[in-house]
Homo-oligomer: A and B are copies of this chain.
């Protein structure tokens, strides 16, 4: 498991990219997808996830839709236009940050 400190500031990017790649998702599904894609090494806690989803919704990047399954209600999140248009920049910012960190730490790029 990674030091959770390193996760800070990347959660919004993860959520937005997952929604871009997989269409509408609900909260629990996002936690499972992250676990799967990271081979179990990243575990989103719900205390981090739900406030972030709500914040992104409040900022207009996500919209929600409630779907009933019997008595249970699932809340699906979808990217809005604004949300979708914000992703490319976030990804670029992340990659640029990584690149800078590699320079500062004087490490070799991954894959070379």
Contact = CB atoms under 8 A, between A and B. Distances in A.
Interface residues of A, number: 39
Nearest to A101: B10
Given A37-B106, A104-B34, A111-B111, A2 B97 contact: yes
Nearest to A22: B106
B17 A9 contact: no
A103 interface: yes
A14 interface: yes
A42 interface: yes
18 contacts: A2-B97, A2-B100, A3-B93, A5-B8, A5-B9, A6-B10, A6-B93, A6-B97, A7-B97, A10-B101, A17-B104, A18-B104, A21-B106, A39-B103, A41-B100, A91-B105, A111-B111, A111-B112
